[in-house]
Copies of this chain bind each other. A is one copy, B any other.
Amino acid sequence: MAHDERRLEVLRAIVQDYVSTNDPVGSKALADRHDLGVSPATIRNDMAVLEEQGYITQPHTSAGRVPTDKGYRLFVDRLSAVKPLSVAERRAIERFLDGAVDLHDVLGRTVRLLAQLTRQVAVVQYPTLSRSAVRHLEVVQVSAARLMLVLITDTGRVEQRVVDCPADIDAGAVAELRTLLNSAFTGVKLTEAGDKVPDLLETAPAHLRGLVATVSSTLLETLVEPSEDRLVIGGTANLARGNALDFQGTVSPLLEALEEQVVVLRLISEVDAGTVLVRIGEENAHEALTGASLVTVGYGSADRALGGLGIVGPTRMDYPTNMAAVRAVARYVGQILAES
């Protein structure tokens, strides 16, 4: 029906205008700014229907309309085309990310870039340990009965733990241990590291067996558990800027949730590489986020997402542009990490 189609067109226009002006949008303003081909009165009828269906709402009688979460959802799902980035923007991304010296640096640059591009809070997850593989394991003797274990993953992430051993260890044992561990674990995915332990224990020479057991258990406990997945956050100043109005006055619950990390981490890690995921307002179960939207995507190669990244902002955001930015940045980051 041409009828329904125009109504959706009206919704799209409302979302676009509201996002750019931050004022509730009325029928007359809509008719002026968009070529809908009908009069304000007709638009009013459409708006009444859209309101009844729950896509828009008025803050108070005799004010313009504002999209609801449901309205944004429909807009994102059906009414928006992902806006391709400008050449300048693509170039900026490349320039920004080139020359990073290590993983920490790559992710730091990424988060700054994303925050700058979208003018929202940017969030980048460290490559998940559980999806990485062991590149190298290093054992360093710290004191007589103390070892430091350093794990280097194929994604460039480095993790360390100190292990207290029951008895003193001599340097030769450390070297042997290093060789043993590396031959057992190098190239093995962290999720599968546990399977290798029985084998390892069996093949280990008797005098090392206790040591190997202690070290392996620390390794599994502390490194394979995904508890320690980290998050880099940037652009929080964007919250405090004009956007403060979008969060009924105070941004501090949101800042707290961001610092808490765990909530955002859970949301951001539920992603596939390639498909941008948008969560709008109330769709976020967590209370502090009900006024916010998340735009997230996984990075890494298609078959193997290393982690997630994205942005957090008010529901009133420019979804098409932000989705494009998030996707493009994720693509570049994936490339860079694949190279190293």
A interface with B by C-beta (< 8 Å): 101-104, 112, 135-136, 138, 140, 142, 148, 150, 152, 156, 158-162, 222, 230, 234-241, 250-253, 255-256, 259, 340
Contact = CB atoms under 8 A, between A and B. Distances in A.
Contacts of A142: 135, 340
A250 B238 CA distance: 11
Q: Which 5 A-B pairs have the closest CB atoms?
A: A237-B255, A240-B252, A136-B140, A237-B256, A237-B252
Given A236-B255, A237-B259, 20 more contacts: A101-B162, A101-B222, A102-B161, A102-B162, A112-B259, A135-B142, A140-B152, A142-B340, A150-B150, A158-B158, A158-B160, A236-B236, A238-B252, A239-B255, A240-B240, A240-B250, A240-B251, A240-B255, A241-B250, A241-B252
Contact of A158 (B101, B150, B239, B251): B150
A46 to B, nearest CB: 38
A244 to B, nearest CB: 8
A17 B99 CA distance: 52
Number of copies of this protein chain within its complex: 2
A224 to B, nearest CB: 14
Contacts of A160: 102-103, 152, 156, 158
A178 to B, nearest CB: 10
A340 B239 CA distance: 39
A136 B175 CA distance: 14
A171 to B, nearest CB: 12
B222 A236 contact: no
Given A240-B250, A255-B240, A101 B161 contact: yes
A142 to B, nearest CB: 7
20 contacts: A101-B161, A101-B162, A102-B160, A102-B161, A102-B162, A104-B230, A135-B148, A136-B140, A142-B340, A158-B158, A236-B236, A236-B255, A237-B253, A237-B255, A237-B256, A237-B259, A238-B252, A239-B255, A240-B250, A240-B255
B138 A150 contact: yes
A286 to B, nearest CB: 15
Does more than half of chain A's interface fall in helix, strand or loop, or is it mixed?
Answer: mixed
Contacts of A237: 252-253, 255-256, 259
A234 B252 CA distance: 13
Nearest to A105: B228
A112 B241 CA distance: 24
Contacts of A239: 240, 255
Nearest to A238: B252
A192 to B, nearest CB: 21
Contacts of A161: 101-102
Contacts of A156: 160
Most buried by B among A138, A250, A253, A340: A138
Contacts of A148: 135-136, 152
A222 B101 CA distance: 9
A230 B108 CA distance: 11
A100 to B, nearest CB: 11
A163 to B, nearest CB: 11
A114 to B, nearest CB: 13
Nearest to A159: B102
